[in-house]
Amino acid sequence: MTNDLNEDQKEVFFKVANQALCPCNCPLTLGGCLKQRPKCGKSQIEAHFVARLTKEGLTTIDILTKLQEGFSEGDPVQRFSKSPAVNCKGK
């Protein structure tokens, strides 16, 4: 997946891979999972996504942001209101 990348793009790819967590919920970075668990399908998908964004010229921080937005569960940005507390009656 990095064969199509030039040297500058490979540097971006590996920076992202060593900072981003793997989406398979293992305790490894993307790079660690690719190396230690090469058959992990989720890491392969994310790596191809990172390679594509790298080819498009995105920066490391832009790719990491997109990963958080695209591979996290639910709404990546949660907003809390300052509404008054609701009275709850317990048993």
Q: Specify the length of the chain in residues.
A: 91
pLDDT, one tens digit for every residue, the chain (91 residues): 889 999 999 999 999 999 999 999 999 999 999 999 999 999 999 999 999 999 999 999 999 999 988 755 554 444 444 545 444 455 4
Six token digits for residue 1: 């997946």
Q: Is the pTM of this model over 0.85?
A: no
Please give the distance of CA 17 from its chain centroid, rounded to a whole number.
9
Please give the distance of CA 32 from its chain centroid, rounded to a whole number.
13
Helix, coil or strand: residue 21? strand
At residue 73, the pLDDT reads 52
The residue written with tokens 């990491």 in the block is 64
Torsion angle of the four alpha carbons 3, 36, 15, 21, in this order, in degrees rounded to the nearest 10: 130
